[in-house]
Amino acid sequence: MELPGPPEPLPAYASVTIIGGGAMGVSTALHLAENGVGSIVVIERDLLGSGSSAKPLGGVRATFSDPGNNRVGATQPRSLRAIRG
């Protein structure tokens, strides 16, 4: 099946092109823009947030079962402050 093209023509120039409009892609775009980077293009093959980022939207988990995720979970207070604004 052929995927539809973008709803608008892509700009001729971008200083940064981000492939993937999940949490990582849009967060990267946000933080770049907040730090003065312009002409950012996010290219998403489906809908924004339609990948893994859409799946845990029922809540925020702060406990994990493996050492790597435990280390990430230890930063949750910072994440939760960011989410609350």
Ligand X SMILES: Cc1cc2nc3c(=O)[nH]c(=O)nc-3n(C[C@H](O)[C@H](O)[C@H](O)COP(=O)(O)OP(=O)(O)OC[C@H]3O[C@@H](n4cnc5c(N)ncnc54)[C@H](O)[C@@H]3O)c2cc1C
32 near ligand X, judged by CB under 6 A: no
CA 58 to chain centre: 17
Report d(CA 30, CA 51) in Å as an integer: 18
Distance CA 28, CA 37 (A): 11
Site size for ligand X (CB under 6 A): 18
- According to the binding rule CB under 6 A, does residue 45 interact with ligand X? yes
Tokens 């200083």 appear where? Answer: 15
Q: Which stretch binds ligand X (CB under 6 A): 1-9, 10-18, 33-41, 54-62?
A: 54-62
Positions that interact with ligand X (CB under 6 A)? 19-25, 43-46, 50-53, 55-56, 61
